[in-house]
Amino acid sequence: MDKLTLTFLLHSGILISLLSACGGVDTITLNQTIKDGDTIVSSGENYEMGFFSPGTSKNRYIGIWYKKISTCTVVWVANRETPLSNKSGVLKVGHNGLELLNGNKTVIWSMNTSESVTTSSLVAQLLDNGNLVVRDQEKSIWQSFDYPGDTLLSGMRISMDLLTGKDIHLTSWKTDDDPSAGPYTLWVDPNGYPQLFERQNLVRQSRFGPWNGVTFNGMPNLGEKLIFTHQFVVNEKEIYYKYELVNNSLISRLHLSPDGSIQQMNWIESTQSWGVLSTATPDNCANYAICGAYGVCNINNSPSCSCLEGFEPQNPEEWIIADFTSGCKRINPLSCGNGDGDGFCNISGMKFPDTNNSWYNQSMTLGECELACKKNCSCTAYASLDIRNGGSGCLLWFSDLMDVRMLDQETEVLHIRMPASELTRPTAQKQGFNKKKQTTIIVVSASLGAVLVCVILALYASWRKQNRSRKLILAPSHDHTKEGHMEDTELSSFSLSMIAKSTNNFSINNKLGAGGFGPVYKGVLEDGKEVAVKRLSEASTQGVDEFKNEVRLISKLQHRNLVKLLDNNSGSSMLDWPRRYCIIHGIARGLLYLHQDSRLRIIHRDMKASNILLDRDMNPKISDFGLARRFNGYETEANTNRVAGTYGYIPPEYALHGFYSVKSDVYSFGVLVLEIVAGKKNSGYWREEHNDTLVGHVRISVLRHGDCTEKAEDRPTMSSVVLMLGNENALPPPKQPAFLAEEEMPEHRSISSGPTLGSVNDITITLLDAR
């Protein structure tokens, strides 16, 4: 061998070693190794594989993590049950495939395959979707996607092979520092009509509702169409669930955490952190069958468990002590062909019962489904199997109905078998609960509540008449009452002297700003806690109802410590672009909480710059819930004859027709974003050459042609907005603004009643009261 050849080979060997050490290659071939400190990186640099120690642990594991994000987030671990105690480990492709050896050259982990191996061509490759694949002559013989840990990536499957019985499921880590198998698993249950279940130590913990052709029933927010596509496939060979990212530049994962929560998480580049897009197990009603047979859970009620209409507690004594596991029983028995016969009560707004003991047919019509259920005395309920194209297929339940809960956004109809005697009751065709034994209590409570309100209002009116310059200050504590009964809300009261002392006698130096009720002051209580104090103004355009509404909602939502207020004019010089972006993102996350993640669904209805408070760290807090409305049950939208809001921020469908939904807040948020970016108010901005407001000016500047055809349904949800803010590649093409006023209006005028249409030559809404 000549000197030149030797030098070339030497340099080539050094180069290969360097590439391997620096993560410059994505494969390991026969007899190549990865030592502790070396990594391989997928071709697009999405994922990296090597040795790591989780959290505070000193143990070493082989794992795969995201390459492009700052937080080391591991998505797969090879030797989760056999950690290395030091850095002597070596991963290699050997005669038996992929193997992990310790310092004594002992194999402590290897891939498990029944495929025969031709070792001369064996190669392991880390793909750009996070899958580690071992191939023999281009034939895949093993992949990490078949052995997941606590993370489901785009393209992975949770599955059950009906021919071999092999199941692929998620298993939580034991702790954040220990990736060994924890107590929680997410798996496919093939019995009846297949479903996804979460188990804790083999005991059912929570359940995804039956697949309806689009998503899991009871989980309408599992994933946005703009972000994911979902599949749940059931055939004679296998059952599996998977999701695919619409935009592969997004970073997203489904994570089963050590505490059992199941979350769809997206990486937010702006904050360098993970954001939760949806949560499968967010509250007590997610616990499997918590209310027993024929019981229904409603997280907004106290107690949360009740019986379905036509049923009563199986064991009333247990229900009194809040033990609902015995469930409910029918008040009247089914006739099943005797007497007047049975019928069906149609109920919507709920998560369908457990389908573990059910039967399904994909080709039957709903009418045929009803007939099939009626003919079988064991059939307790029926529903459409697939909601697409108006509904198709048949799903029949047998035995008791288990694990039912009320859900705001669920619109599918469940047809429950009932005796004819129950169907003649006035509430039989509506969702309801058996309240026979509770009627007297409710009537008495309501009567006492009404008397209490009258007494309070009378005392307050008398007090206010004698002390017109003094104001009552109340701060919310914990509210466990239903909407509309603020008189039952537990409040912590503060004396006027204490409030005056905390605000330095309502000093002008403590004034933070002013809202619909009146001025807002910064106060410091005796324990050092900083608070915001609202002082009701004599000239306030909002009254007792709005005050009650705000106290009730803030108490439930726990929005507190709102300490500093800046509008766009006074604060623009202090807000550089990163701060403005963080404020926008924080507002979006706050709205997402109100619309989706809180136990109440709240429509704010008055989103504007002056209702965003900033703390000392410039973190935004949404305030002023006086006009907010809570949605109950299955409601997702509503109409009102009393339009309330602020000119320039309200969407057209609300201003013109009194129609509002979560999309109303999305419109207002969009206007607010424009104001923050431009540093100008929408209603205060005016361009004579275009005769337009700020929104109109943006339209002319960006969208030069076309009609204003945007509808409320065209606007994204706030979960999509949060994701878009975290990744510019998720931004869809812009649509045109829906409402452009073409006449100058005084700044921040408010609408307190309507809706009323004005002349088309003037403006499209009538403004009655100014704020």
Q: Is 672 exposed, middle or buried (0-12, 13-18, 19+ CB in 10 A)?
A: buried
Whole-angstrom distance, CA of residue 3 vs CA of residue 9:
10
Whole-angstrom distance, CA of residue 322 vs CA of residue 630:
27
Q: Is 606 noted as a catalytic residue in this protein?
A: yes
Our CA dihedral for 497, 503, 508, 510, rounded to 10 degrees, sits at -170
What separation in angstroms does the CA of 156 have from each of 39, 90, 188, 244? 23, 27, 14, 9
Q: Is 553 helix (H, G, I), strand (E, B) or coil?
A: helix
Residue 179: asked if its preceding bond is cis (omega within 30°), the reply is no
Geometric angle at alpha carbon 412, from 331 and 185, rounded to 5°: 90
Residues sharing a CB contact under 8 Å with residue 447, sequence separation 6 or more, in sequence order: none
- Structure letter (DSSP) for residue 233: E
Other C-beta atoms within 10 Å of 573: how many? Answer: 8
Whole-angstrom distance, CA of residue 561 vs CA of residue 216:
38
| Contact status, residue 641 vs residue 755, Cβ threshold 8 Å | yes
Other C-beta atoms within 10 Å of 410: how many? Answer: 23
- Structure letter (DSSP) for residue 468: T
Whole-angstrom distance, CA of residue 513 vs CA of residue 623:
12
Q: Is 640 exposed, middle or buried (0-12, 13-18, 19+ CB in 10 A)?
A: middle
Q: How far is CA 154 from the centre of its chain?
A: 19
What separation in angstroms does the CA of 53 have from each of 45, 56, 77, 79? 21, 8, 11, 12
Residues sharing a CB contact under 8 Å with residue 197, sequence separation 6 or more, in sequence order: 186, 187, 188, 189, 204, 205, 206, 207, 208, 288
Beta-strand (E) ranges in 164-207?
167-168, 170-175, 178-189, 195-200, 203-207
Q: Is 687 helix (H, G, I), strand (E, B) or coil?
A: strand
Other C-beta atoms within 10 Å of 584: how many? Answer: 20
- φ and ψ at 301, to 5 degrees? -100, 160
Q: How far is CA 329 from the centre of its chain?
A: 34
- DSSP string over 415-465: EEEEEHHHHTSTTTTS--B--GGGHHHHHHHHHHHHHHHHHHHHHHHHHHH
- φ and ψ at 242, to 5 degrees? -155, 160
What separation in angstroms does the CA of 452 have from each of 188, 348, 479, 549? 53, 36, 17, 17
* The dihedral sign for the CA sequence 768, 538, 495, 524: positive
- Structure letter (DSSP) for residue 370: H
- Structure letter (DSSP) for residue 15: H
Whole-angstrom distance, CA of residue 247 vs CA of residue 210:
27
Return the HEC string of 318-359: HHHCCCCCCCEEECCCCCCCCCCCEEEEEECCEECCCCCCEE
What kind and span of H or E run contains 582?
helix 577-592
Q: Give me the catalytic one of 150, 342, 354, 606.
A: 606
Alpha helix segments (H runs only) across 183-291: none
User: What amino acid positions are annotated as catalytic residues?
Assistant: 606
